[in-house]
Every structure is written in C-alpha cells, then in structure tokens.
Amino acid sequence: MDKYKNRVEAGKILAQVLSTYEGNQNVLVLALPRGGVPVAFQMAIALKLPLDVFIVRKLGVPGHSELAMGAVAMGGADVFNEDIIRDLQISKEAVQQVIADEQKELNRREIAYRGHRAFPSLKNKTVILVDDGIATGATIRAAVKALKQLEPDKIIIAVPVADQSVCDELEPLVDQLVCPLRPAHFQAVGAWYEDFSQTEDEEVHRLLGKTNLLI
C-alpha cells in the first residue's frame, strides 16, 4: 500500500490490526482532534468501543507556526523541543506567549467538543490513542505524558502513517505502537493520503454526535 484513500479507510485498516480489542469494556478510543477524529470514529464503530477526544495543541515557533517547538495537552502536561528553542534563540517570554495562546484554543476546543462533561476515568483501562499521522511527534508525546498521569493500565498509539525514526522514538514510551505505513522519506502526513481535506469542527461534532458519549 503506497497511500490511503482517506481517513475513513485508514481507520478501518487500524481497526483490523487491533481486532483483538473488539467489544472489550476495559478499552477506550481517544482521538486527537481534529484530523484524528474521523480515523478514530471508524475504529470505534468497527471495534464496538467508546470514543472520546483528547486535546493537544502544538506550540509553533513564532513566525514559523508549522515548526513545532513543543506541545500542551489537556491536564496541563507539556513537552518542549529544547534544541529548537535554543538553536533559534526563542526567548522565554515568546515561549510563554505561545503557550498562553494555545492554552486558550485548547480550552475552547474542550468546551466545544466535550461541553462541561467530566473526562472519563482511565485508571486501569487500556487507551488507544489515535491521530491521522505523526510528523515530529511533539503532539503525541505531550498526549502520552498527560495520559500517563491518569494511570491507564496500557497506552496504545494507533496511527496510519509516521516517519520510521519517529516510530522508533515513540515505541519505548507506550505499550504498543500500531503504524502500518512507515516511509523512510516522510515529507508530510498529507502526502500519504489521496484525500487529506481539512477536518472542520462541524465534522468533529457530527461524528462525536453519533456516539453515545458526546454531544
């Protein structure tokens, strides 16, 4: 397989790989919005598992927002790429300003997607953390760091595509990493989908609305 048709196909393929978890009441699928939601939705439906969202925001370098210098997650966890911050000589004040801006957006999305509903207990549960792909790994590392504070029994990362070197870095951090497509020359997540159209808030609402947990 050279690339996925779309996020729907990607989610169905991941569900096949994780079919042993079908119907397991101790397992929860957590999507990283927005792009991870359509992937995770297909998995949750196929595996008959509950779906929720776990919100993480990338911390973009000032003036070059696509370049990640870290990430912040629900629950207050954060990770930083100290090499980028040092090499680009980004001031502590500039970093704090980006954190404040992204925390505001994180809070907005949490209320928009989840309302004021309490986050489910993850203690002693298996969590399948889903995104539509991994570029630098900063976002998913922040998510894993935050999730570990909630004491799940097991954390599984399930993504359709990621750079092989990033997979190598992430695998020791979790109990299992499922990533069917690991190109050596990665470029960008969207390059590995025929259709990688933007996932909007409306689609997140629509898909979460089809589960019995959210909105």
pLDDT tens across 141-161, in order?
A: 989 998 998 899 999 999 999
CA distances from 176 to 47, 81, 144 (A): 17, 24, 12
Alpha helices, DSSP H only, in the chain? 7-17, 36-47, 82-87, 92-114, 138-148, 164-170, 201-209
Classify burial at 45, counting beta carbons within 10 Å of its beta carbon; exposed 0-12, middle 13-18, buried 19 or more.
middle
Radius of gyration of the chain (CA): 16
Residues 75 and 159 in one domain: no
Residues 146 and 189 in one domain: yes
Residues 68 and 170 in one domain: no
Number of domains the chain contains:
2
Work out the number of other CB atoms within 10 angstroms of the CB of residue 19: 10
The percentage of residues in the chain with a pLDDT greater than 90, rounded to a whole number, is 70
Residues 200 and 129 in one domain: yes
In a domain, 214, yes or no: no
Residues 51 and 128 in one domain: yes
**Which residue among 66, 94, 113 closes a domain?**
113
Residues 83 and 172 in one domain: no
Residues 131 and 201 in one domain: yes
Range of the domain at 98: 58-113
Residue 138's domain is classified under what CATH number?
A: 3.40.50.2020
Say what the pLDDT of residue 91 is: 96
Model confidence pLDDT, tens digit, residues 55-98: 999 899 999 988 889 889 888 888 898 999 999 999 999 999 99
Say what the pLDDT of residue 212 is: 53
In a domain, 1, yes or no: no
d(CA 114, CA 209): 10
Give the Cα-Cα-Cα angle 199, 143, 102 (nearest 5 degrees).
65
